[in-house]
Amino acid sequence: MSRAPLFQPYTLGPLTLQNRFVMAPMTRTRAPERIPTPLMAEYYRQRASAGLIVTEATQVTEVGAGGMRTPGLHTPAQVAGWRGVTQAAHAGGAKVFVQLWHAGRAHHPSWNARNEQPVAPSAIAVQGPTYTPTGVQPHVTPRALEVSELPGIVAQFVHSARLALEAGFDGVELHAANGYLLDQFLRDSANRRTDAYGGSVENRARLLLEVTDAVAAAIGRERVGVRVSPTGTYQDMKDSDPVALFTYVARELSKRQVAYLHVSEPVAGPAAVPGPRVTPALREAFRGTLILSGGYTGESANAALERGEGDLVAFGVPFLANPDLPERLASGAALNAPDFQTFYTPDAKGYTDYPALGAQAA
C-alpha cells in the first residue's frame, strides 16, 4: 500500500508535504488558560507523520471561543505556547497550519471575562444546550453585528494570521464550516440580513472573501486555506441551495489562488447527508488543491485520489486514536479504537496515551 497515492509527496505552494495525509482539525479542550501547553505539543509531535497537520480550532478573540479550554492566538503568551507545538510537529516532518476560528453565535458569555453576549449575522440562537463552567446551559441569543463592526472582525483574523507566522506555522486555515461565524454568514438558515452581507449568495459570501483577501494580503495567499462544510447540519445549519452558494465560494477562492480548499462532507457514517454530494461541483469550480474530509478509510481515500476527486485527504478520529496512522495503513496493522469519553477532557488520558505500533509490539 505504500505506493498508493496517500503515501506520495505533494507540493502545496512553496511547501513539500511528505505524504497526502492531512490530520483534520479537532477540538480537544486541553488548553486550560487558553494557552497551548507542552501536553499539546506532545500530542501533535506524536502525529507528525502526517503530510499536513491542521490544528484544532483556535479563536481569534476571547469572544470568539467556541468552548471551554480551547486555545487562542491573539496574545504573546499564546504565540509562545504555539511555538512549542510548531517546533514539535516540524521535528517530525509535518507542515502545520493553524485553523483560525470565530465561533459567533456558538460562543457562551461564561467563556469570556466580561460576560459579553455572542455576536452573529442575525439574532438567531443555536437550539439546544452547551457546556459551561457552571454546567449545561442553553445557548443564548446572539447580538446581530452592525456593518460598522465587520472590519473589526476582519482585523482580528489578520492579527491572528500574523501571529501565526511568528509562532512558526506554515500557514492558516480559515474556519468557514460547522456553524461558526463565517459559516453563519454564508448560510441562509443563520443569516437573515437585508444589507450588503445578507440575501444573495454574493452578499452572504462577502465577509468570508473580505477575511480571505485581508489575510492573504498580510501573510501571502499561498499560506491561506479555507474550510467549508456545504451540507453539514451541526449547530442548526443548512442552506436553501448549497450547490449555488458553495460553487460561487469555490470559484471566488480559485480566483484568489489560495493554498487550498478543504471540504468537509461526510461520505459515510451517521453524519453523511442523503442525496447528491456538493464536493464534485466544488472540484470543478476550484482549480487549486482540494482537501477531502469526511469518514474516509485508507482504501476509500486512495480510491478517491486515484479518481482525481481531490488532492489530499483529511483524517480526523483515526488520527486522534492512531498517532502513527500512515504507518498503520501502510502495513495493514489494526487501528486503535477511539475513547469517545475522553475527547474533551482536560488531561493526558485519551490524548497522548494511544499506543504506537512499536509500543504495542514491545
Active site positions, annotated: 180
Instruction: Write out the three cell numbers for 42.
Output: 506532545
CB 28 within 8 A of CB 56: yes
Rounded Cα distance between 248 and 344, Å, is 35
CB 55 within 8 A of CB 168: no
Residue 138's DSSP bridge partners are 129
- The set of residues, in sequence order, having a beta carbon less than 8 Å from that of 147 and lying 6+ positions away, is 195, 196, 197
Q: Are strands 10-12 and 224-228 parallel, antiparallel or unpaired?
A: unpaired
Instruction: Write out the three cell numbers for 113.
Output: 471575562
Rounded Cα distance between 338 and 319, Å, is 9
CB 44 within 8 A of CB 81: no
DSSP label at residue 180: S
Rounded Cα distance between 38 and 347, Å, is 12
3-state helix, strand, coil in the chain (%, to 5): 35, 15, 45
- The set of residues, in sequence order, having a beta carbon less than 8 Å from that of 121 and lying 6+ positions away, is 104, 144, 145, 181, 184, 185, 190, 191, 192, 193, 197, 198
Dihedral sign (CA 314, 183, 290, 91): negative
Instruction: Write out the three cell numbers for 345.
Output: 477532557
Provide Rg for the chain, Cα atoms: 19
Residue 314's DSSP bridge partners are 22, 293
CB 86 within 8 A of CB 96: yes
